[in-house]
Amino acid sequence: MRIIAGSARGRRLLSVPKDLPVRPISDRIKQSLFDIIRPRVPGSRFLDLFAGTGAVGLEALSRGAERAVFVDHDARCLKVVDRNLERTGWVAKGKTLRGNLLGPLTWIPYRAGVEEFDLIFMGPPYKDEQKAPLEFTRPVLAAIASANLLAAEGWIIAQHHQKESAPPPPGFESIRESKYGDTVIHFFRRPRQRSALSSQ
């Protein structure tokens, strides 16, 4: 794995142990994702959920994000993220948090020191260690909405298997969907409010 673009372009990243049920994002999908969100990345506060190696949040830092917070339940993944932050020189801009992502997420702002995020990426595993399908996307989207983690003009980006349903969380709308083989990338935001003049 490597950083595709930005100040650390070409920098190689460390990988997590192969026995972990982590599916690293491919360069093709990562490139397409950042082509879409490019104008929103500089100066942003970026939240990388199910961080794995931290490849997505690190790419955001390389492209000018102000801050990146990496969350995973596995300490082995977070150790790799910490080492990748050291390799790229972004220890001061990144923070790793260990916690359960399948319950309420109100603890994230307190522990991250960031009240809300401009971009939230989530890439949960498709299968468990026994290869059984998982469906984490819907409950985690709902938890993000419930915890008010997203800034007013922010986007949530969900990577999930094509067979997994990912409807917009309460109070959000789907604005884009891109497919890459068996992977889908969904983009969500809060509906934009119509002004009083525009409704007349």
Q: If 0-12 CB within 10 Å is exposed, 13-18 middle and 19+ buried, where does residue 196 land?
A: exposed
User: What per-residue confidence (pLDDT) applies to 21?
Assistant: 62
Which residue type does 29 have?
I
Q: How far apart, in whole angstroms, are the C-alpha atoms of residue 175 and residue 135?
A: 21
Residue 196 has pLDDT above 60, yes or no: no
CA nearest 147: which of 176, 110, 119, 187?
110
Place of tokens 């986007």: 155
What stretches of 124-167 show up as alpha helix (H) in DSSP? 137-146
pLDDT tens column, 33-62:
999 999 999 999 999 999 988 999 999 999
- Indicate the pTM of the whole model: 0.92
Residue 158 has pLDDT above 70, yes or no: yes
Judge: domain 27-163+177-189, CATH 3.40.50.150: yes
Higher pLDDT, 15 or 28: 28
Sort residue 113 into left (φ over 0), alpha (ψ -120 to 50) or beta: left
The string over 52-83, giving b where at least 16 C-beta atoms fall within 10 Å of a residue's C-beta and e elsewhere, is: bbbbbbbbbbbbebebbbbbbebeebbebbbe
User: What per-residue confidence (pLDDT) applies to 127?
Assistant: 64
Residue 28 has φ and ψ, to the nearest 5°, of -60, -45
